[in-house]
Structure 1
Amino acid sequence: MLAGIRTFSKSIFAKIIFGVIALSFVIWGLNASMLNLGTSREVAEIGSQKVTPVELDRAFQRSVQNMRNVFGPNFNQQQAIQMGLLNNTVQSLVSQKVLREDAKVMGIGISDDKVRDTIFASENFKDPTTGQFSRDRFLQALYTAGYTEQEFIEGVRGDLMSQQVVGSLTGTAAVPEMMAKQIVTYRNEQRSGSFFALNGAEFDDIAVADDATLRKFHEDNAAQFTAPESRDVTLATLSAADLIPTISVTEEEIADSYKQREAEFQTPEKRVVEQILFAPGDEQSAHEAYKKLQEGADFMATAKEAGMDEGMVKLGEFTANDILPDLSAATFALPEGGYSEPVETALGWHILHVTSITPGSTQSLDEVRDTIVDGLKQFKAEDSIYDLAAKFDEELGAGTPIEDAARDVGAKTYKLSGVVRGEGLAGENIDSADEINAKIFELENGEESFLEETGTGTRYVVRVENITPSALRPFEDVRDDVIPAWKADERQKQMLAKAEELANTINSNGADLAAVASEDGAEVMESGLTKRTGQGLGDNVNPAVAAALFTLEDGKAKAIQTGEDILIVRLDNIKVADAQTADASMVSNELKSAINEDILSQYLGYLRDEISVTVNNTVINELFAPTAAN
């Protein structure tokens, strides 16, 4: 069953939504002018259509479930929000509605027969034995994917409407065959060559230049020796973490908290479940199969006789809360290895088989005492921080110096020197240092911030005491840094000059590459037959070698730099692709897709100006704030 559902994610409805529509929301996007914080309780309004909170919630939960299939069952809603999945879901729904609204304005309609035929044509809903549409597979797939039947049907209808619009725009894109073949020929040309790395040992001992040369290098490479702008600041921070060491908890509080949180420390019983499913109304077949099982028939063989494949039989591992509610009681009443009598649900008649049981357990108070204590202290600290922050803000607002206001509320004070943009807080281990650093560089000299709050809840206020502008460090101060930098630069210049001389010897005099390499104490290596992309290069061959081969004439050589190495590369062979026999279908499809994307992008840009779109962030935040806070 699970394998069938994964296949379903690639089926007709998923293809419509995540093919055409996914493209459209990436191009469409949302911008500030489209946001609205009015009194509407809808998530979004697109012309005459709406995205309701229920619709967004269901779509988002489906997206989260899809991510769990990738990252595992511990992937949660908060992680999804942090990854931007909620925002993507909103944009996807808006984009769907935009195209549907456009189709509606044009008077495009999709008949019930067309919707039915589209669903019936999906291979994922067909019985593997008969090849005909199976309502059982259809309903199971929808249930697992999180769709109601009506929701899915209307989704297919809406997206078929959208496809009418998109198809009329993109269906005529054509690519000249000869152009596609020329591109394939260009891509498929292969070349091979030989090369060696210049022996750098003779360049290791470079004498130090005179000060005049070093000074010029210092000036010519000023950016390398320029001190960035830095700032001296006074900073005060107030966080729950700072308060935790001052907080104590009683045994009574610990016991009460354990009682309240006991469910967190319980591992629920899990059961691996298999099922045989019969169609609604086919109770007789279900009871006949149950009788066979009681008489010793094999469960999987009986399921196959009923037309089910292994993927539909093996449901996986469940807790009592995970499995379909109508099946929970029967499943968790069975012993390990037991079969249930037929159970009726909206999907039909089920016979359940529990193949293994993992017992539940509960951790004792002693086992989780540290967790309980830490949680209580954290709660008390977070509870106290609001009052302290309010007092801190009040004192700062009254003109109390940062140092005095911080002392009154127990905030930490720092005097920081040499803070550089983007480099934290001068080596101090302070929470949210990057956020505070960014705020420091928003202020002018002598300016003080408001009481700010970081993303992790730390309150802070900062005052800029002094700004030291960016400036080139005097040569005398950085001479010891200039010397090794000049040597490294000079070494590369000398190596490259010699390499170019050797390459010229090969090109002008026809010198043998192997002989030139031998004289330099180097070993010749082969590139392998490679394409422009580097496909086919030998092991440990730098991709720059492939790039060089496609700039050379046959038999010619050139010097290239790859990191600290200098290579002399010679082109030995060119294998031209045959334009007449080249398969250009893939390139044609790529070009058609690119043309279609451009056309669709232009059209969606037009729709953005024609169709009113508003998105209500207030409703979205209210809908998901409780989850985001956990």
Structure 2
Amino acid sequence: MLQKLREKTTGVVGAVIVALLIVPFALFGLDQYMVGGAANNVARIQAPPTWWHGAPSWWPASMFWRHQEVTVEEFRNRLELARQQQRERQGEAFDPVAFESVDNKREVLETLIDEKALAMAAEASGIVVGDAMVRDAIQDIEAFQVEGRFDPNRYQLTLASQVPPQTPRQFERSVRDNLRQSLAATAVGSSSFVTNGEMDRLVRLLGEQRDVDLLMLPAPEPDTAPVSDEQARAWYTANESDFRAPEAVTLEYVQVNADTVPAPAAPDEAALRQRYEEQRERFSAQDERLASHILVRVEDGADEAAVAAARGKAARIAAQAKAPGADFAALARDNSDDSGSSAMGGDLGWIGRGAMTGSFEDSLFAMQPGQVSDPVRTDFGWHVIQLREERSGETRSFEDSREALATELAQANRDRAVSEFTSELVDRIYRNPSSLTPAANEMGLQVQTVGPFTRANASGIAAHPAVRQAAFSEMLVQDGTVSDPIEVAPGSTVLIRVVEHTPERALPLGQVRARVDAAVRADRARKAVKARGEALVARLEKGETLESLATAEGLAAPESVPGVPRGAPLPEPEVNEAVFAAPKPAPGGTSPGLQMLSDGRAVLFVVTGVTPGSAATLDQAQRDALRQQFAQVSGLDDIEALTRSLRRNLDIEVFEENF
């Protein structure tokens, strides 16, 4: 059979057939290899090649398109960052369930896609970020500064404390990438400007003031006319959402804290001494070194020749520093590539263990005061180190530390007792998760009840956001099982179970008829006030004045308010908006209007004069600040327009199943 297959495929026709089969398989496979699959991506962004902007998206031209992916890990990291930021802003009001909505996740993803679009635009434009820009950006980060100046020790420690920890080189790479993708947008935003004509027009509009006369119309007499069944049904049907009973629950719960758990025995002498020995480092000051250094930087990706050249330069500097009478600080100011310390003569301050990278620290702590090291290699390059002073830490005795140890150990024992008690309680509850009573009785706890309550009127432990959130969660409501422990205060937790649940529901008309009748009467009264006001506006438009209307209607005299600026409440913000929305009155004329108030009353107003804002009232500093604000707003609009324009040329595919 194999021989026959060989005979059939050795001819010209066979070769053509095999070639036709190989090409599409090979190209399709290559295309899939280049663009990757959807298994590890949340979105895939594709753009035409830079040398063929009009390239079609269909195969085989699609093989040449540029690709970017939003990976699952990248998306989840950004989502977690957004979660932390929202939790900090909202505090106890933060709802983790609502945060996990698809709309919220999509919003986070859209931000990432915009960033990828800007990165691809930067790549296509050949934007390159220099080392000096990266260094300046890092040194401007407040987290790396001490007293307003970049501190290398703080930089190292901050990066090491990240989760996961980062090396300086990794962080510099991420900063470089971020700068590269933001440069185009920043350039567009910062290039926005406001012309003198635009500035004058904006100042005239924003600084405009209006002279206005106000006449308050009183609320009508209470509506006591009957409400028919037909009127009530019509209002109830049109406003059914106003007549719903909110969801409510009743809870049973037990609370565990230091007061409900048997107190542990006081710590004895042996336990105190054991804790002292285990934590001796806490009572010992760290050995420290006062050091200076000179850095000969080696750029990321430098070849062996560049590394060797840098080492040779560092060796020459080290030789000069070791010479009798050498001024190390002067050498650092003239030669060090560390802009954060060179101006201070290379001073790094007092350094303890763990503050610097391994090779630097090993060399420093092996030196003697006054000694200058040979070149030492780190991720930054070659260092020449000078040890100026050293100091050894002191250790507090056990007797001096006894009181603090006793307090700490007693608290630790109480915390451990509460934790162990809670763990045992949870284990017992798991044997019968549909009730709190058996486990509570076995552990000597009292089962308490709270409710029924809604999301808006919870009290007691139910007022705690975490308890309220769990109480209305779908799992506890539907299953009727006991919750996990919920911390309501430091060292105090509760376990809850929903014993009664009343879903949100429409209240029957008969039950809310009094509320419906009151709403109908209030609406009729409001309409009566509005109709009266509109009739009075019509009389104003025919030439009557507010004063004559007030006299004819038996109302209080109108109030004149000259020079009303934008945003001033008159007496409510909506009145101000209506005043400035009214047409500018003709010379010698007025511009009347009506605005309803939130309490059902109405305000008649007449605009009698308009004074445009004047740039002459602004000094140069105010004018410059206002111009900058206008330019920033315009720049943000330009950046948004740029992003929309870039996205129009992209092929974006989203994999929501990987959210």
Smaller-chain TM-score bracket = 0.5 to 0.7
Aligned to 1:560: 595
Q: Which protein has the larger Cα radius of gyration, Structure 1 or Structure 2?
A: 2
Aligned to 1:548: 578
**1:437 and 2:483 aligned:** no
Q: Aligned-pair distance for 1:559? A: 3.0
Aligned to 2:267: 251
Aligned to 1:130: none
Distance 1:509 1:270 in 2: 91
- CA gap of 1:184–1:122, structure 2 versus 1, over 3 A, is farther
Q: Is the 8 A contact 2:267 2:406 kept in 1?
A: no
Q: Is the 8 A contact 2:235 2:520 kept in 1?
A: no
Distance 2:517 2:393 in 1: 67
Q: Is the 8 A contact 1:230 1:470 kept in 2?
A: no
Q: Aligned-pair distance for 1:391? A: 1.8
Aligned to 1:320: 352
Distance 1:383 1:306 in 2: 61
**1:124 and 2:124 aligned:** no
**1:598 and 2:644 aligned:** yes
Aligned to 2:452: 418
Q: Is the 8 A contact 2:425 2:443 kept in 1?
A: yes
- CA gap of 1:601–1:309, structure 2 versus 1, over 3 A, is closer
- CA gap of 1:274–1:575, structure 2 versus 1, over 3 A, is farther
Secondary structure, aligned partner of 1:509: coil
The one of 444, 457, 461 equivalent to 2:497 is: 461
Secondary structure, aligned partner of 1:349: strand
Q: Is the 8 A contact 1:193 1:526 kept in 2?
A: yes
**1:511 and 2:513 aligned:** no
The one of 371, 380, 383 equivalent to 1:348 is: 383
Secondary structure, aligned partner of 1:387: helix
Secondary structure, aligned partner of 1:524: strand
Aligned to 1:8: none
Distance 1:412 1:440 in 2: 26
Q: Aligned-pair distance for 1:389? A: 1.3
Q: Matches of residues 224-623 of structure 1 in structure 2 within 5 Å?
A: 226=243, 228-229=245-246, 231=248, 233=250, 235-237=252-254, 240-241=256-257, 245-252=261-268, 255=272, 258-259=275-276, 262=279, 277=294, 279=296, 280-281=314-315, 282-284=317-319, 286=321, 313=343, 320-321=352-353, 323-324=355-356, 342=372, 346=378, 348-349=383-384, 364-367=401-404, 369-396=406-433, 402-421=436-455, 423-424=457-458, 432-439=466-473, 443=477, 448-453=479-484, 456=487, 458-464=494-500, 470-471=506-507, 506-509=540-543, 511=545, 520=557, 522-528=559-565, 530=566, 544=574, 547-555=577-585, 556-561=591-596, 568=605, 570=607, 572-573=609-610, 575=612, 589-601=635-647, 606-608=652-654
Secondary structure, aligned partner of 1:382: helix
Q: Is the 8 A contact 2:370 2:386 kept in 1?
A: yes
Number of aligned residues: 499
- CA gap of 1:501–1:395, structure 2 versus 1, over 3 A, is same
Q: Is the 8 A contact 2:321 2:372 kept in 1?
A: yes
Q: Matches of residues 33-48 of structure 1 in structure 2 within 5 Å?
A: none
Q: Is the 8 A contact 1:276 1:306 kept in 2?
A: no
Q: Which runs of 5+ in 2 are unaligned?
A: 1-37, 43-66, 89-98, 140-149, 160-165, 297-313, 488-492, 586-590, 616-626
Q: Aligned-pair distance for 1:193? A: 0.9
Q: Deviations over 1:59-107 (max 9, x none)?
A: 99xx99xx9xxx9xxxxxxxxxxx99xx99x98998799789999xx9x
Q: Deviations over 1:116-152 (max 9, x none)?
A: x73367683999xxxxxxxxx9999986884657546
Q: Deviations over 1:544-567 (max 9, x none)?
A: 455334421112132335656865
Distance 1:501 1:358 in 2: 88
Distance 1:514 1:342 in 2: 96
Q: Deviations over 1:324-349 (max 9, x none)?
A: 36777999999xxxx96656654533
Identity %: 9
Q: Aligned-pair distance for 1:438? A: 0.9
Distance 1:550 1:408 in 2: 71
Question: Which residue identity is paired with 1:373?
Answer: A
Distance 1:606 1:286 in 2: 59
Q: Aligned-pair distance for 1:423? A: 4.0
Secondary structure, aligned partner of 2:499: strand
Distance 2:582 2:485 in 1: 56
TM-score of the superposed pair, with normalisation by structure 1 = 0.53
Secondary structure, aligned partner of 2:384: strand
More moved, 301-310 vs 319-328: 301-310
Q: Deviations over 1:221-250 (max 9, x none)?
A: 87798472465645244x542775323233
Q: Aligned-pair distance for 1:513? A: 8.5
Q: Deviations over 1:394-415 (max 9, x none)?
A: 1347xxx543443234454234
Q: Aligned-pair distance for 1:390? A: 2.0
Distance 1:526 1:358 in 2: 71
Question: Which residue identity is paired with 2:499?
Answer: R
TM-score of the superposed pair, with normalisation by structure 2 = 0.51
The one of 212, 215, 230 equivalent to 2:226 is: 212
Distance 1:123 1:313 in 2: 15
Q: Deviations over 1:481-502 (max 9, x none)?
A: 998x999989977876776666
Q: Aligned-pair distance for 1:471? A: 2.4
Distance 1:156 1:420 in 2: 48
Distance 2:138 2:425 in 1: 64
Q: Aligned-pair distance for 1:392? A: 1.5
